[in-house]
Amino acid sequence: MRLYQQLVLFMLAATVLPLAAVGFLLLSRAEAELAARIDAEQRSQASATAEAVGTSLMEVVDALARSAELFDWQTATDAETAGGLRLLYGQSPAVSAVLKLDAQGRPVGTPVFRAQALDGHPAFQADGLERLVHSVPVQPLRGGGKGQAALGTAYVHGDDGRAAVAVVVKLAEGEGAPYALAEVVFTPLETVLQRRAAGGLGRIDLVDEDRRVLASSEPARRMTVLAPELTAHLVTPTAPLPDAVRSFRVESPARRVSVARVPQGLRFDVVVEVDEATALAPVSAMRRTVLLSIGATFIVLLGIGALFTRRLNRRLADVVEGAEAYGRGELDKRVTVRGQDELSELATTFNRMGAELESARARLMRWNDDLRTRVDEATTDLKAAQAQLLEAQKLAAVGQLGAGVAHEINNPLAGILGNVQLLMLDRGASDPDLGTLQKIEQSAKRCKEITQNLLRFSQQRERAELRPVDLNAVVRDALSLTEHQTRSEGITLVTELKQGLGRVRADPGHLSQVVLALLSNARTAMLKTPVKRLTLRTGERDGRAFFEVEDTGKGISPDIRPRIFEPFFTTKDVWSNVGLGLSVVWRVVTEAQGTIDVRSEAGQGACFTVTVPKA
């Protein structure tokens, strides 16, 4: 990722994102507070409007009842009755028609109504009289006194769609008293609703128990039915509201609604409805302002970051150029130092590093010359070691060849030995050929013993297998492989094997190799000495068994004695012997948890003592 991109992400994480998070958190809180305030005002508006509507309707009903009590309806003439009806008619502009009913609720006389309605609608029609008569029952007032009033159900004018409600007033005492029936329209109430909706809290509707809009701040909604999503949240028409005011929220589109029941026992509800987007428009405007501010801030930060990183990249390019020069080996390259900031310190450190690298290269060249000299010397030593390794490989090949020869010789030897023994069975003690056959048998057994020792010497394992073995037997077996050659070289062989020595814990094959190696080295050391005597002895000391190989050879000088156990180190004049090196001898003895000591002086021979633990 480029530095400019990292800087942009840093500025976004350090400034823009926290600013946006805090801004939107504050906006969310402001929106919640505004919504709560709108709900509270809406509930207050619904409650006040319901109170005003109930008061307006009851004022009309009370005015009709008081006027009816002032007139004697039972003794009045027809002209006086018509005048009394006109008195009732004039009590309120909301009264659109008045007529008289008998005790059974049948119309009596001519109704009183305006020839032309105040709002320009047609006058009261005959079908309207029929709806008015059947809209309110008179039975509840039969037991009451004069001036008792009751409201009927709401209905709709078929000619103009206006909603109205009937009011019945009892005109005299007793069950046979007549009634006055007045039609009260809801059109004047729309003025009250419009005035209260002018505060910007949305639409206000007056609905009946069938959820029909009787009056509205928007006259076009008159006598429509509330939307299903609103009706689903309202209580049933016959049940009272659980609280004085009830608020809820609906979707599609999002709206906030408050419902208040009209008091005075009237079966009407006031519904205040406001569009949520309109109500929360200030918060939305603030959110857009915050987004624009964040965007503008981000653009400004990008511009400043671009200028800063451009200047920074130019200075870093100088450092990169210097590093590439160092990569090409141009250690005399230096970076220009500008300013007093961290990049200046980096350039100074870079130049110091270049000077140190240049000095180090000079030292390295000198060391390279010294190393070349030492490598030449080591190469010479390595070539000598390789020559010794080749001889060691030849020794391994000789061992494999000896094993093969021993296997091949054993078979005919077994046949010779068996036939000789059969021939001896057929000869008596006086037979002249018996002595010859016995010599043949002894020679065959001697050859078989030599091949068996050769097989044991060649069959070596990579890992030592320590077990109880007879030390004297191992020494004798190893000596049998080299005894003839030793005596043929004019060497006097002396063996001093302690009887009853017991067993030691060692690998017999590896231990045989140790004996043969020491014998071979001793023979080689006595090639040019006048006195040639080789002594091989075994014994016991401090609870451990040992064997010694002592010769009268040229000995070992003190200056090279510490190196005799190093790999491929030799004191032989010509490195042609097939014996094992002392480094291998030391390793085999150490694996058997033994020790090897040497006593020697130049020209006085040498004595190697190998000590191994007893079994």
pLDDT tens digits, 101-122: 887 778 887 888 765 444 444 4
Sorting pLDDT into bands at 50, 70 and 90, what band is 550?
Answer: very high
Between the alpha carbon of residue 463 and those of residues 98, 466, 507, 588, 591, the distances in Å are 133, 9, 9, 10, 9
CA 389 to chain centre: 58
pLDDT of residue 470: 92
Question: Which pLDDT score, from 0 to 100, does residue 141 have?
Answer: 66
Q: Which of 131-140, 349-358, 450-459, 505-514 has the lowest mean pLDDT?
A: 450-459
CA distance 188 to 92: 10
- Phi then psi for residue 142, to 5 deg, are -70, -30
- CB distance 425 to 453 below 8 Å: no
Average pLDDT over residues 14-30: 74
Nearest by Cα to 302 from 603, 606, 5, 611: 5
> Is 236 or 291 the better-scoring residue by pLDDT?
291
- Asked if residue 481 lies in contact with residue 516, where contact means CB atoms within 8 angstroms, the answer is yes
Could you tell me where the beta strands, DSSP code E, fall in 520-605? 533-541, 544-551, 595-600
CA 345 from centroid of its chain's CA atoms:
39
Element (H, E) at 505: strand 503-506
| pLDDT at residue 273, rounded to an integer | 87
Beta-bridged to residue 269, according to DSSP, are 207, 261
Place of tokens 């040992």: 546
* pLDDT for residue 579: 41
What is residue 494's predicted lDDT score, i.e. its pLDDT?
93
Sequence letter at residue 560 = I
Torsion of CA 3, 5, 7, 11, to 10 degrees: 180
The pLDDT tens digits of the residues spanning 386-418 come to 665 665 565 556 556 666 776 778 778 888 888
Give the H/E segment covering residue 500. none
**Number of CB atoms found within 10 A of residue 484's CB:** 11
Query: CA-CA distance, 170 to 182, in Å (whole number)?
Result: 12
The alpha carbons of the chain give a radius of gyration, in whole angstroms, of: 66
State the CB neighbour count (10 A cutoff) for residue 142: 15
Q: Are residues 454 and 481 in contact, defined by beta-carbon separation less than 8 angstroms? A: yes
Among the residue ranges 13-17, 111-115, 390-394, 520-524, the one predicted with the least confidence is 390-394
Strand partners, 61: none
Assess whether pLDDT exceeds 90 at residue 537: yes
What was the pLDDT predicted at 577? 44
Measured CA to CA in angstroms, residue 506 lies from 102, 454, 478, 514, 574 at distances of 145, 19, 15, 11, 32
CA dihedral sign of residues 511, 512, 517, 523: positive
Specify whether the CB–CB gap between 516 and 608 falls below 8 A. no
Q: What is the pLDDT of residue 4?
A: 57
Residue 195 confidence class, pLDDT cut points 50, 70, 90: confident
Using the predicted structure, report yes or no on whether residue 471 has a pLDDT greater than 80: yes
Question: What is the H or E stretch that residue 7 is in?
Answer: helix 3-11
Percentage, residues of the chain above pLDDT 70? 80
